[in-house]
Structure 1
Amino acid sequence: MKIMQTRFKIGLLVGLLAFTVSCKKFLEVKPVDTLSGSEFWKNEDDAVKGINGAYRLLLDKFLESTLYNTGDFRAGWWNWFNKRNLAALGRNDMLGGDLNSSDNSAGPKNWTQFYKAIAAANLCIDRIPGIKDPAFSAQNRKALVAEARFIRAFTYFYMVRLYGDVPLQLDPYETAIKPRADMISVLDTCIADLRSCEQDLPITYEDPTNRAVRATRGGALTLMAHMYMWKAGFDAAHKQECWQQTAALGKRVMDLGVYELLPYTKETFQTIFKGRSLEGIFELSLDINYGVQFHSLIAQWVLHEPIIHSSGDLYGGFGSEITPKRAFLDKIYPAGEPDKRFDLWFDDPYSNANPQSAMYLKFSSVSNPSTRDYDANFLIFRYADLLLLRAEALANLGNQDAEAITLLNMVRTRAGARNYSGGGGTALQDAIFLERAKELWGEGHFYYDLVRTGRVMDRNQCENYLTPEQFQRRAWTWPIDLGAVKNNPLIIQNEFWSR
């Protein structure tokens, strides 16, 4: 689709799906072009269908490729064996043929589906305030508009981390093609938008099936905190302000009192990573019971019998397609240091049974061992991530080390690890970064943390590190799909990939 040459008007997009409030199922509704007409946008139910359709369009982007785990693979530190497509990610070979070899690994290059989700959110923002049904309360109306603003802001945040500068589209009817906007200005626009509406979002939902999978005030605050931390890595003149804002936003999330760190036991860790737990802040909903099947996720490559049927009967079925490198495991989980995460999440981590026998069990909720379909949510933000992000901001500020250490040790204590007892400054900052790697590995954060902190240029932190010159030329981005570049003369390819 020539996304930047066509109207962004949602009426030109097709295939919108929606949930119904009553049964929580993904159901096909009328084509989107009819949803922009006079027969739709009549009542609250229509508004909810529009919002859920926007969520589904966003989810579809994650379902089409290895997008979610790009953040875990681009830094390297895996034994790739025969997974040529994932190995291409690990060596930053985004233009070579290996990336296209399987799993639609080149899918993140194309931003069309992101803009479909944005267009749907834009239409909701435009149409919901005009619904005249007296049974549709002003409070619910405001909450749904705020939810649409959250979806739009989150989508732009994800795009910025992938592509850097992106075209900014806020009007569902505008026809003009646009150039890419500076990513800092995009984030500033989204932050201002979220600040204008975050009080309209609910703190929690009465229906537990909505927990974490619909926007909340805590989700909006956490999203803004992540946006500020990304800005801090690229806007040196304002990094102190960004860290202060992140610290303040993180405290507000904590003060809501609705999130907690659940114990790490063999039973509860499965609950956390299944989704909708007390630790979840924002997730994209996956449920095999409602026909959402997906297997282009880390789970299918790092597990084997008896959890999934191993591809190609590797080692009699007891071989994973990829395994973590020992050098990385030794770095984040040093020998002799207690840590429940290492004990619970890794089976035969050093592949003693055979060269590929290691398993990473963090994401092992598989509904069908034969098809290797994953049956749990995409975890985007959870409480441990927020605590460590706030700790990082406080440590960077330099005068709030004690509180940063308290937050760091909250996460370490839950993991059964020894408390951090060192000093502040670089040592504390490094400890927090390492803790994020331990805690969040497999959840798509690692490479983005490397990029925003500049550690992607450190060969000790990133196996396939970038030089400062490569970083400046934005080798950390994805190349933009050539269709977008050809179809919109205002789109300029990221410099590193314009070869």
Structure 2
Amino acid sequence: MKRGIYYVMLCLAVFTAVSCNKQLDIDPIDQIPDAKFWSTERDLDGAVAGGYALLRKTLVESPKNSNDDNGYHPRFYMYGDRRGLIWQSYTRDQIRDGTDAAIQKNRLRTEWGGTRQWDDILFNWAPFYQIIEQCNIVIENAHRVPDNQFFVGNTRAQYVAEARFLRAFTYFYMVRVWGNVPLVTKTRTTEKLGRTDMNAVLDFVEKELKEAMPELPNSYSASGKNAFRATKGTAQATLAHTLAWRHKDAEAVTYATQVITGGVYKMLGDSVPDPTKPMGYLQYPNIFKGRSTEGIFEIDFDAATGEFGRNTSMANLTLFGTQWAARQEPLWAISYTSANRTITRMTNLTMMFPEYQKDERYRVLFTRSNSSVKPNDSVFVKYASVVDPTRFLYDANIIVFRVADLVLLRAECNARLLNYAAAREDLNTIRKRVWLPPYTGADADLYLEIFKERSRELLGEGHYFYDLVRTGFLTDPDYTKVPTRPTINQADFTDGAWTWPVSNKAFVDNPNMEQMRYWQRY
């Protein structure tokens, strides 16, 4: 009985008691409550699973209004998509007016720092350090499980490798949000840490992923673990993204290729339909329900276990009309920024999908609503695997990495390397999959076209803002290339304007903590 209780305690210990390191909100565990806990493989597996559970809880966390279950600003989609202004509030923001204007002006701290839930949640990195603490616990205690407790095919090294992967992934994710972050690699950290330079953190991430990779399986015999627990492909995909973030493009191409050609994952595709006949069953939408062969790393939401979509899923944010949700208009809408820098709801989706007459994505991911209030508005049905619209129940996983993402990432890296033929081939692989002809534009325009293709293919998957940063389009002075983005110039970017400010909680009793220079001004 004690061991069963400790499975929960190990996942949640960091949420209880008084922290001895308030700046990171890490609760050091001075002793294992049950001396026999680390006695079986089941114990170790449960401890690793606890890390994934904390990751899931952290990525879907959102500010909420009192007496309202809706998560209007979930971390995963706020950091990755909404910050880039490709989504906006449909009418008015349910948490606070002026959200989109604050994002566009990049005044998150001066205009939102006093909003408790933004400071407590979106600015707050403490939950990510709780994931890291969980991983550190596993790494430091895995040796206590006796050798004879492991089943055939499983090893202690595999579980340690999973913990090292999850810790590395968490640090990579944090760097993309906050830039410089404290680097913690041991449990019971009580030092008053300052921020570690992001390049040193990413050096650590690269090293951890490369060393963990050989011990990870290609796939799991238990299908319930695939895409949700670390594999070689998961580590390779994370490493490819980490390297591309740093413009180590040749190496990024190598690791992306290992995923693409490894034989474990493959893109789902459909034949071009006969225009004289109704479209039959299509594979492409199954990607976004989750657990497809295209998914490399996902956060699982399974309606069968009573997981409600209104708890911060993209399905809940975008679906409306009685067929899909018990509301008559969406919470978020696709947006664009006009030439005069005005944020505008995109009512004509052909702006994003100029080849809409042929593009499968336009044809199957959007449809007219059956809303009594907005009957002519388009519904974004990418995540419309509806189980019960009245209770907001959806099968709609968070797709962190998938094969098409890696194909287009490889195209982007090759374009930066001026390997235009290889970049064009990958771009056309994605275009062909969605029934489009090969791209015939000039090599000089290829880099921008790959960015636009990622915007279309990965719409609503938490990539857009990171793509703006990585490609350099975030600060391009020519707004005609990519108009939909916040206003950030190169000087401010250098001072950290692309990051998020750090919560006031990080400064409690810690003289070594500081904001990035930009957020000291704003």
The Cα of 1:333 is off from its aligned counterpart by: 0.9
CA contact (8 A) 1:229 1:246 kept: yes
User: 1:175 offset after TM fit, Å?
Assistant: 2.8
SS of 1:180's equivalent in the other structure is: coil
Closer/same/farther in 2, CA of residues 133 and 407 from structure 1, 3 Å limit: same
Q: Secondary structure at the match of 1:359?
A: strand
The structure 2 residue matched to 1:453, chosen from 471, 483, 495, is 471
Deviation at 1:135, TM superposition (A): 3.0
Structure 2 counterpart of 1:20: none
Cα 1:472–1:282 shift into 2, 3 Å:
same
Q: Which moved more, 1:458-467 or 1:486-495?
A: 458-467
Answer yes or no: is the 8 Å Cα contact 1:283–1:381 preserved in 2: yes
The TM-score with structure 1 as length reference comes to 0.85
SS in 2 for 1:441: coil
In 1, the alpha carbon distance for the partners of 2:92 and 2:376 equals 11
Aligned equivalent of 1:235 = none
CA–CA distance in 2 between the matches of 1:269 and 1:378?
16
Once the two structures are superposed, what CA deviation does each residue of 1:238-286 show, in whole Å capped at 9, x if it has no partner? Answer: xxxx101101111111231111110257642332101111001011222
More helix by share: 1
Of the candidates 302, 312, 320, which is equivalent to residue 287 of structure 1?
Answer: 302
**Is residue 42 of structure 2 the alignment partner of residue 45 of structure 1?**
yes
Report the equivalent of 2:432. 413
Which stretch shifts more, 283-292 or 218-227?
Answer: 283-292
**2:453 paired residue among 435, 440, 445:** 435
Aligned residue identity for 2:84: A
2:41 partner letter: E
Q: Is 2:215 aligned against 1:200?
A: yes
Give the AA of the match of 1:286. F
| Paired residue type of 2:492 | Q
How far apart are the structure 1 equivalents of 2:50 and 2:424? 42
Asked if 2 retains the 8 angstrom alpha-carbon contact of 1:7 and 1:175, the reply is no
Task: Report deviation, 1:329.
Answer: 3.6
Q: Tell me how far apart the structure 1 counterparts of residues 434 and 117 of structure 2 sit (CA, whole Å).
A: 33
CA distance in structure 1 between the aligned counterparts of 2:449 and 2:25, rounded to whole angstroms: 48
Which of the numbers 367, 385, 410 marks the counterpart of 2:405?
A: 385
Instruction: Say whether the 8 Å CA contact 2:21–2:191 is kept in structure 1.
Output: no
Query: Is there any run of 5+ residues in structure 2 with no aligned partner, and where?
Result: 1-18, 63-73, 271-279, 335-344
**Residues 1:249 and 2:269 aligned together:** no
Cα RMSD of the aligned pairs, angstroms, is: 2.8
Q: 1:99 to 1:408 in 2, by over 3 A?
A: farther
Contact 1:219 / 1:281 at 8 angstroms: preserved in 2?
A: yes
Name the amino acid aligned to 1:438. R
Structure 1 segment 366-405 matched on structure 2, within 5 A:
366-398=386-418, 400-405=419-424
Does 1:262 find its partner at 2:272?
no
Structure 1, residues 208-232: CA drift from partner, whole Å, max 9, x if none?
1111001000010110010011112
Preserved CA contact (<8 Å) 2:193 2:512 = yes
> Which deviates more, 89-98 or 435-444?
89-98
Identity rate, percent? 33
Give 1:159 deviation, angstroms.
0.6
Summarize the alignment of residues 222-241 of structure 1 with structure 2, pairs less than 5 Å apart: 222-232=237-247
> d(CA) in 2 for partners of 1:420 and 1:150?
37
1:279 counterpart letter in structure 2: E
One-letter amino acid matched to 2:75: L
Q: Identify the match of residue 471 of structure 1 among 493, 511, 517.
A: 493
2:182 is paired with a residue whose SS is: coil
Q: What's the counterpart of residue 125 of structure 1? A: 139
- Are 2:512 and 1:490 equivalent residues in the alignment? yes
Please give the alpha-carbon distance, in whole angstroms, between the structure 2 residues aligned to 1:253 and 1:309.
36
Q: What TM-score results when the alignment is normalised by the length of structure 2?
A: 0.81
- Equivalent residue for 1:63? 60
Specify the alignment match of 1:76 in structure 2. Answer: 85
One-letter code of the match for 1:68? F
Q: Distance in 2 between matches of 1:69 and 1:305?
A: 22
Q: CA deviation at 1:404?
A: 1.7
SS in structure 1 of the partner of residue 514 of structure 2: coil
Contact between 2:60 and 2:313, CA under 8 Å: does it hold in 1? no
The amino acid that maps onto 2:56 is L
